[in-house]
């Protein structure tokens, strides 16, 4: 019998890694392997998931819905060779159109060993409230359209939640998690209808996003870092990183920013220096200016 593959999609920062982490931590005895595609060359998501399962493989430097389709298939074969898991979870990057990944997974050789089961789309309720234009975003709509299961994240009771659920319903999607709950992993499997090879071409707009990956071997001063991020925030869609501040060089902190909301929390990791990924709209985000501003912060 082929191993089911669960594909988790959703816009930048929607909560895909958080959702998968919860699945892995509450796997109900299932052996789950995770394949994680980050947009850039620093695979923060894979690093974050490594503590939750033995088998996490990061795919970086491209997108599995287009340039890395071959890498995805090779990785999947490798995962299957390493001892058949009960389930493979693939986290798409926030810029991926799941149609491209579904097409790749229709590979005639692979399909007997691993077959795409459900596609879960994480929909960020807070993002929809803050940025109603998201409803018209072609990439966001393509991610939603592909979904067998729509899971809401960042829900606040009231706050227009009923109208979000109703509007998703009008688009033909039943949104789960309006009460903050998530389905158990076993209940996510087998939810797909008959899946045809997607006829349309994936929504790809490689020029839409600009990203910067920055690392330094030492630390950065906290107040100056916050100032730089504050200045950049208007042009950023997503930022994440593992940062050591000069004031507390012993702590490796997880920095997250989605839209205007930023947070710092203990990462539980012990990686040296700092690593940061910034993603913005290409028309607004000046990566070289951002790099220079970050370089000016680096301390030994
Ligand atoms: N309050 C709240 N925060 C959440 C929820 N889900 C995710 N977050 C936060 O949102 C931020 C992004 O979450 P991730 O899980 O990394 O999002 P992602 O979709 O994997 O992000 P990318 O892979 O970078 O596109 C983090 O700071 C999370 O802690 C949620 O349900 N509620």
| Whether residue 172 is found in the same domain as residue 240 | no
Indicate whether 144 and 255 sit together in one domain: no
pLDDT in tens, 215-260: 999 999 999 999 999 999 999 999 999 999 999 999 999 999 998 8
Task: Determine the atom of ligand 1 nearest the C-alpha atom of 48.
Answer: 16
Instruction: Output the domain CATH number for residue 247.
Output: 3.30.1220.10
In this predicted model, what pLDDT tens digit does every residue of 265-278 receive, in sequence order? 999 999 999 999 99
Residues 126 and 55 both lie in one domain: yes
Q: Same domain for 182 and 43?
A: yes
CATH number for position 57: 3.40.50.300
Mean pLDDT of 14-25: 92
Produce one character per residue of 28-65: b if its CB has 16 or more CB atoms within 10 Å, e if not: eeeebbbbbbbbbebbbbbbbbbebbebbbbbbebbbb
- Predicted pLDDT at 204: 66
DSSP state of 297: T
Domain that holds residue 230: 209-295
120: CA distance to ligand 1 center in Å? 15
Are residues 47 and 175 located together in one domain of the fold?
Answer: yes
* Percent of the chain residues topping a pLDDT of 70: 92
Residue 41: band (very low, low, confident or very high) from pLDDT cuts 50, 70, 90: low
Same-domain pairing of 214 and 180 = no
In a domain, 197, yes or no: no
| pLDDT band with cut points at 50, 70 and 90 for residue 37 | confident
DSSP bridge pairs for 121 = 9, 150
Residues 155 and 272 in one domain: no
- In a domain, residue 66? The reply is yes
Using a 6 Å cutoff on CB, does residue 10 contact ligand 1?
yes
Q: Assess whether pLDDT exceeds 80 at residue 104.
A: yes
**What does the pLDDT average to over 283-290?**
96
Whether residue 204 is contained in a domain is answered as: no
Cα-only R_g, the chain: 19
- Pocket lining: 15 vs ligand 1, CB cutoff 6 Å: yes
Nearest CA to ligand 1 atom 26: 256
Q: Are residues 268 and 177 in the same domain?
A: no
pLDDT of residue 11: 96
Is the CB–ligand 1 distance for residue 241 below 6 Å? no
| Contact in structure between 97 and 6 (CB atoms under 8 Å) | no
Q: 124 CA distance to ligand 1 centroid (A)?
A: 9
Q: How many domains does the chain have?
A: 2
% residues pLDDT > 90 (the chain):
61
Among 32, 148, 174, 39, residue whose Cα is nearest residue 90: 32
How far away, in angstroms, is 149 Cα from ligand 1 center? 18
> In the predicted model, is pLDDT for residue 295 greater than 90?
yes
């Amino acid at each position: 019998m082929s191993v089911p593959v669960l594909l988790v999609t959703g816009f930048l920062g929607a909560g895909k890694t958080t959702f998968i982490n919860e699945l892995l931590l509450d796997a109900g005895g299932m052996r789950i392997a995770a394949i994680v595609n980050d947009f850039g060359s620093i695979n923060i998501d894979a690093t974050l998931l490594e503590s939750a399962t033995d088998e996490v493989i990061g795919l970086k430097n491209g997108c599995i819905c287009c340039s890395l389709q071959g890498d995805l298939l090779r990785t999947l074969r490798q995962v299957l060779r390493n001892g058949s898991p009960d389930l493979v979870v693939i986290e798409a990057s926030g810029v991926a159109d799941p149609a491209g990944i579904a097409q790749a997974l229709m590979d005639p050789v692979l399909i007997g060993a691993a077959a795409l089961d459900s596609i879960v789309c994480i929909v960020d309720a807070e993002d929809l409230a803050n940025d109603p234009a998201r409803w018209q975003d072609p990439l966001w709509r393509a991610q939603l359209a592909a979904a067998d299961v729509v899971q809401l994240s960042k829900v606040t009771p009231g706050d227009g939640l009923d109208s979000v659920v109703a509007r998703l319903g009008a688009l033909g999607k039943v949104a789960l998690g309006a009460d903050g709950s998530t389905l158990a992993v076993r209940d996510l499997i087998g939810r797909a209808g008959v899946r045809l090879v997607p006829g349309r071409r994936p929504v790809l707009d490689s020029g839409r996003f600009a990203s910067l990956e920055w690392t330094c071997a030492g630390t950065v001063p906290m107040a100056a870092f916050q100032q730089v991020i504050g200045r950049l925030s208007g042009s950023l869609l997503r930022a994440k990183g593992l940062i050591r501040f000069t004031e507390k060089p012993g702590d490796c902190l997880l920095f997250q920013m989605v839209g205007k909301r930023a947070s710092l929390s203990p990462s539980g990791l012990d990686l040296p220096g700092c690593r940061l990924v910034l993603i913005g709209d290409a028309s607004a985000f000046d990566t070289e200016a951002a790099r220079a501003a970050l370089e000016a912060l680096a301390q030994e």
